[in-house]
Amino acid sequence: MDSRQHKATFYEEITPNHRWFKFNLREVWRYRDLVILFVRRDFVAQYKQTILGPLWLILQPLLTTFVFYIVFSKIAKISTNGSDPFLFYLSGITLWNYFSDCLTKTSNTFVANAGIFGKVYFPRLVLPISIILSNLIKLGVQLLLLLSVILFRWSFQGLTPEWNFYVFLFPLLILILAILGLGLGLIFSSVTTKYRDLAYVLTFATQLLMFATPIFYPLNFAQGFLAKAIALNPLTPIFETFRFTLFSSSNFEVVGLLYAFGLSVFCLMIGITLFNKVERSFMDTV
């Protein structure tokens, strides 16, 4: 090969300084094939050596819904604002699974991939982004499940359709969830590289957040101080809106959604800032 073909057109500089906020989407775009390959790897690796394979994507929310149905509807008798309890739980679980998977899986980006990160450079954001995408595919499958259960109930079990046109807000809801999950995940992944304690905090915090989100109860079920606290949870308006569009049973407030969106974007900015800072030196501390 002729050496002139390798004439350098590419220039870069390595310095200790970094810009505080730099999403560097262009570089991530250059590595888009890698994003896709990581998504693929996650799927293939996850269901290898399981008999049911991707069927678990559907079984997991169904089984959880069943447990919720027994515990919260039959035993604790918590109201679902008149909507069908099974659909109520399934819709909540579907959304929650997406958020919590995004959060927990991005939150150990650095620690879990130290082996790769220590040997080769690629924009580190590729990994969390690939996680968000592969979870999006999972969400798609689980939404199909939700849709089929809804259609089944409507056509064969005499349930009256109560959805409304706000259902087209759905992509926005998912976007907010993804931003929030990614943002919080980036924050935790950055801080846990040095202080592993945060990994334990996260497990606990996720659990707490699940109870503070109207997944198996409607927002108006909570009273007094707790109701205010739950309303402050940015996930609340997302879940409420989702239920509103499907069952017309909950409240729909634009302010709540804007609040959730604003807070999510704020988390993402903090997350990216910390991530950019940590990605440059975490190999020395991990």
Partner 1 sequence: MDALKIEGLYKEYRLGELSTGTFAHDLNRFWYRLRGKENPYEKITETNDRTKNTEGEYVWALEDINFSVTQGEVLGIIGRNGAGKSTLLKILSKVTSPTRGSIAIHGRIASLLEVGTGFHPELTGRENIFLNGAILGMTKKEIRSKFDEIVAFSGVEKYIDTPVKRYSSGMYVRLAFAVAAHLEPEILIIDEVLAVGDAEFQRKCLGKMKEVAGEGRTVLFVSHNMTAVKKLCNKGLLLEQGRVAFMGSAEETVQAYYTQNTEVIKTFQIFENSASAPGAMGVYLKKIALSPSDPFIDDHITLDFEFFDAENRQKIAIAFDLLNQDEMVVFGSGATLKSNDSIFQATCYFPKNLLNEGTYSIHLYVNSDGYQPLFSLPEAIRFEITERERTHGFLGKINGVVRPELTWKTI
Residues that bind partner 1 (CB under 8 A): 1-4, 6, 8-16, 18, 31, 33-34, 36-38, 40-41, 44-45, 48-49, 115-122, 194-195, 280-281, 283-285
CB closer to partner 1 out of 5 and 157: 5
Smallest separation (angstroms) from partner 1 to the CB of 131: 15
CB closer to partner 1 out of 74 and 196: 196
CB closer to partner 1 out of 103 and 198: 198
CB closer to partner 1 out of 3 and 223: 3
CB closer to partner 1 out of 112 and 226: 112
Smallest separation (angstroms) from partner 1 to the CB of 130: 11
Smallest separation (angstroms) from partner 1 to the CB of 150: 35
Nearest one of 121, 99, 131 to 206, comparing CA atoms: 99
Q: How far is CA 43 from the centre of its chain?
A: 16
Dihedral angle of Cα 86, 87, 92, 93, to the nearest 10 degrees: 60
Smallest separation (angstroms) from partner 1 to the CB of 193: 10
Cα Rg of the chain, angstroms: 21
Q: Indicate the burial class of 251 (C-beta count within 10 angstroms; 0-12, 13-18, 19 or more).
A: middle
- DSSP string for 170-229: HHHHHHHHHHHHHHHHHHHHHHHTT-THHHHHHHHHHHHHHHTSSSSS-GGGS-HHHHHH
Contact predicate 244/260, CB 8 Å: no
| Neighbouring residues of 99: CB distance < 8 A, sequence distance ≥ 6 | 177, 180, 181, 235
Angle between helix axes 56-68 and 85-107 (nearest 10 degrees) is 120
SS3 131: helix
Smallest separation (angstroms) from partner 1 to the CB of 178: 23
CB closer to partner 1 out of 37 and 175: 37
Smallest separation (angstroms) from partner 1 to the CB of 116: 5
